[in-house]
Homo-oligomer: A and B are copies of this chain.
Amino acid sequence: MFSKACEYGIKASIFIAINSYESKLVSPKEIAKEIDSPQAFTAKILQALVKHDIVNSIKGAYGGFEIDKNKIAKVKLAQIVNAIDGDAIYNGCGLGLHKCDEAHPCPVHDKFKSVREELKFMLENTSLEELALNIKSGASFLKV
């Protein structure tokens, strides 16, 4: 469904959010440990999230990553997915035609439409905040 990079990006964002609530910066090392991902690769993904203005990086000694507290509720999954995988998953053609076009549909277009729209809706309406709160409360998990 999503690329590994995107999976890591989502999980990393959630972990950063949790710590940002407590004004705590986290490092790629901590993140990788917590979400069970390769550290250097995770660092690269963090760079992408920083470039897309989803995550904030503080360079130098005692630095690390954070997300603005007042942004956590506003950041939606769709932004993260878009930053890493692009929008093909919910805007592209399911069978790889150059574009998904109502006027020139692929064989699965009508069947897929609702699935993809539900996915899109879900991604656009799920905030980092709710995902982070569920982790905090122990209702969901970032690894294993």
Q: Residues on A close to B: CB < 8 A? A: 1-2, 4, 7, 10-11, 14, 77, 89, 92, 94-98, 104-109, 111-112, 114-115, 118-119, 122, 126, 131, 134-135, 139-144
Given A4-B96, A95-B10, A96-B4 in contact, is the A135-B107 Cβ separation under 8 Å? yes
Q: How far is the CA of A109 from the CA of B97 in the complex (A)?
A: 30
Q: List 19 A-B contacts (CB under 8 A).
A: A1-B92, A7-B95, A7-B96, A10-B95, A11-B95, A14-B107, A97-B144, A104-B141, A104-B144, A105-B140, A105-B141, A106-B140, A106-B141, A107-B140, A107-B141, A111-B126, A115-B115, A115-B118, A115-B119
- Closest B residue to A3 by beta carbon equals B96
Judging by beta carbons under 8 Å apart, are B2 and A94 in contact?
Answer: yes
- Protomer copies: 2
| Shortest Cβ distance from residue A71 to the other chain B in the assembled complex, whole angstroms | 18
Say whether, besides A1-B1, A96-B7, A141-B97, A114 and B118 are in contact (CB < 8 Å).
Answer: yes
List chain B residues, Cβ under 8 A from A122.
111-112, 115
